[in-house]
Amino acid sequence: MQHTTCTEDRIHHALERCLHGLDQTSPTSDTWKAGLCMNRWSLDELVDRDPGNFLILIEKILEKTKQVQENCEYGLLIPLALLFYSAVLRAPYFPPQCDLLKKSYNVFYGFLTWPIPYCSVCRELLAFINDELKAPDKESNSDYRSSKNRSSHFHPESP
């Protein structure tokens, strides 16, 4: 059994709550939508408490993304890609020895064989990750984004 801290467990649980029910074809109730918003808000509040929590969240997103690929859970890929994108943008730093961005590139690269729109979303995400890898630190990342005239918003292609 893998040893985890209480914070890791709480982040994992909050991430799972955010993804719960998203693989269904049509969530219909307003209660479900409100619950989704509250779960995402709770995840954000938990992660914002400590800069290191962003790294934990990114790691948990990558673990879940690998599971999604193994189980071919199409409905969860795009929400995970958006959560990943948001977490990377909001992360205040990546330690020099941290290889999460390289790992994430390899994880999302595996989805290029999936059908449209999934491969298109991953192609956009890979370009974003590649840009983040080129910048040596967080301040440089925002400078690099503006020099490339890239929006800081992730817009997956429409199906």
Distance of CA 98 to the CA centre of its chain: 16
Tell me the per-residue pLDDT of 104-158, one tens digit each, with 9 for 90 and over: 999 999 999 999 999 999 999 999 999 998 876 655 554 544 554 444 445 555 4
Counted residue by residue, the chain has a size of 159
CA distances from 106 to 19, 91, 112, 122 (A): 22, 20, 11, 11
The region that residue 42 occupies, defined by phi over 0 for left and psi between -120 and 50 for alpha, beta otherwise, is alpha
pTM over 0.95: no
